[in-house]
Amino acid sequence: MVDKILAEYGAVVLDRNAKRLVVQVDDKQLRPLAEKLFESGFYYANGVGVDERGLGHDFAMYHVFASEKDKLYLVVKVSTSNLKLPSITPVIPGSNWAEREAMDMLGLEFEGHPEPERLILPDDWPKGVYPLRKEFDYNERPEFVERKPESTPQRTDVVQLPLGPYHPALHEPEYFEIHVDGEVITDAKYRGFHIHRGMEKLAEGRLTLNQVPFLAERICGICGFTHSIAYCQAVADAAGLDWPERAKYIGVILLEIERLHSHLLWVGVVFHLLGFDSGFMHMWRIREKVMDIAEALTGNRKTYGLVLIGGMRRDIDESRKNWVLKTLTELREETERVSKDIFGMKELINRIKGIGVLPKEDARALGVLGPVARASGIDTDVRRDHPYLAYDKLDFKVPVYPEGDVLARLLVRYDEIIESFRLLEQALSEMPQGDVMIEDYTIPSGRVGLGATEAPRGEDVHFVITGVESKVYRWHPRAPTYNNLPSVPIMLRGNNIADAPIIIASIDPCFSCTDHVAIVRKGKVIWKGPLGEGVKQVGR
């Protein structure tokens, strides 16, 4: 089916393997092809603008589509010599973010775009200066222009309540403008872009291919290892590398440990927000022992620093395997016992049942990922649909609930905690002996690579183009909260103001690895952020 569609729109295959296909299409065929792919079941996974003049080409936009059914990532490239390209946002609203990001960072123009305004750069950033063009140095600081403050129209039919961006109850800079009529939420808007760290520019301008994993692992303070795995997979994909089997199992073990402590942390935070601090302390007490396992296997409770392009830097200590297996068995039993008692509290369950509902059709339209998608009836998981490392050799279930409420999102993560215990026991027991690193390999330049992992919050996608002298020419990571944040206004509408904190928290948002996005539907603003007011940093 995919080949038939591509032939119909004149797509030229540039590179192909079993999991990933890269094609180039004429700009006139881009929008109809994108619409056809979307109608055929593909979802929009990522979008990356690239200055390819250093490769002897023009500017380009890479649109990444994914199909669960076909177990395929499809990368559609379209080039331009005059900086103008057709926008696909009118047919795929989720691509709005990627196109506006390319406008800001590279100066591309997307004809027919419904909202061609700044997205990432601050208002006082000078016009005509584009941070991700190759002539812009990573440590350059332009002269900022005087910015005229913008006034926000005040609505008189509702009360506008601010939450954030700096508040003792918030862990990161985030701002929600909540509109209420009495006690009922009628609408909500998210305003972000407070955190820009310039990671892509730093990687392209200063770091080597094998230094980037240590930067990638710091994208997120909770689930960083999955980002470093996704990046290394992307480079390995570009080079055609296949890791040793033992390295693949070690990767699974550390990723599932990361999923365990991330989910346990989140469940504890949910109980805390509900005023049930006993549940919070129980979950974090169990999580503490998971962190002890991480330290025993890697030497660190977090930020393991173990993965490179060719595999793992170090093996894990085999002598500790029996202790880890015994501890995991005890923790699973303890988690099930504590959770049974907690889920038996009717007042707690009734507090989160039926609130923050995200219907399946809205979830699919917005392209939400991970537990948020699975709690709205969407059966998706990168570990199963696009297998990587050793996941295709292990048995696990993907929990799916149709209700779409906060309770369903809690139950999905609880089921995933139990499945992670099962996966860890299997991986530790079945892990083969052998090498953990490919010692001799070469990375060809100018090759496109894609890496995807199922992070605790959902699908991570990393896009790379390899450069010369062991450098990355282009690197673009996309975190799952990037896709999940736009669903929050839908969840909030019609609920009481007292439910807002738990509904927002139910997607397990990570703002530091996401804070550069906005969603706009044609003719209707769904999700809109400011232009990074007062932010002086470059790039992310």
DSSP characters for 454-501? EETTEEEEEEEEE-STTBEEEEEEE-THHHHGGGHHHHHTTSBGGGHH
What whole-number distance in Å separates Cα of residue 277 and Cα of residue 269? 9
Angle, CA 537 vertex, CA 533 and CA 539 arms, to 5°: 100
Per-residue pLDDT averaged across 74-98, rounded? Answer: 93
Which pLDDT tens digit goes with each residue over 422-447?
A: 999 999 999 999 999 998 999 999 99
Quote the Cα angle for 319-324-325, to 5°: 110
- pLDDT-derived band at 157, boundaries 50, 70, 90: confident
Range with the poorest average pLDDT among 22-26, 100-104, 113-117, 520-524: 520-524
Q: Provide CATH code, domain 199-505.
A: 1.10.645.10
Angle at 526 between CA 522 and CA 531, to 5 degrees: 95
Task: Answer whether the bond into residue 165 is a cis peptide, omega within 30°.
Answer: yes
Q: Pairing mode, if any, of strands 20-24 and 72-80?
A: parallel
Tell me, what's the pLDDT at 527? 31
Which range is least confidently modeled, 55-64, 197-206, 370-379, 397-406? 197-206
pLDDT score for 521: 32
**Contact partners, residue 319, CB within 8 Å, separation at least 6:** none
Listed range (202-206, 224-228, 280-284) with the worst mean pLDDT: 202-206
Report the Cα 193 to chain-centroid distance in Å.
Answer: 16
Q: Using CA atoms, how far apart are residues 221 and 244, in angstroms rounded to an integer?
A: 28
- pTM, two decimals, is 0.91
Q: What is the pLDDT of residue 55?
A: 93
Residue 537: pLDDT over 80: no
Residue 159's φ and ψ, nearest 5 degrees, are -95, 130
The reported pLDDT for the residue numbered 50 is 97
Contact residues for 293 (Cβ-Cβ < 8 A; gap 6+): 257, 324, 327, 328
**CATH 1.10.645.10 location in the chain:** 199-505
Mean pLDDT of 491-501: 93
pLDDT higher than 70, residue 168: no
pLDDT-derived band at 148, boundaries 50, 70, 90: low
Contacts for 224 with CB less than 8 Å, ≥ 6 apart:
216, 217, 218, 302, 303
Q: Count Cα atoms within 13 angstroms, Cβ side, for 123.
A: 10
Average pLDDT value for residue range 342-346: 92
Query: What was the pLDDT predicted at 170?
Result: 62
Quick: pLDDT tens for 100-131. Answer: 889 999 999 999 999 898 878 877 889 999 99
Domain boundaries for CATH 3.30.460.80 within the chain: 2-117
> Residue 79 above 60 pLDDT?
yes
Contact assessment for residue 95 and residue 108, using Cβ atoms and an 8 Å cutoff: no
Q: What is the mean pLDDT of the chain?
A: 89
**Rounded percentage of the chain residues whose pLDDT exceeds 90:** 73
- Per-residue pLDDT averaged across 151-177, rounded? 74
pLDDT at 522: 35
CATH of 2-117, one of 3.30.470.30, 3.30.360.10, 2.60.130.10, 3.30.460.80: 3.30.460.80
Q: Pick the more confident residue, 400 or 439.
A: 400
The average pLDDT across 140-145 equals 85
* DSSP state for residue 198 in the 8-state scheme: -
Mean pLDDT across 18-43: 95
Q: If you average pLDDT over residues 288-309, what whole number do you get? A: 94
Single-letter amino acid code for the residue at 264: L
pLDDT at residue number 279: 94
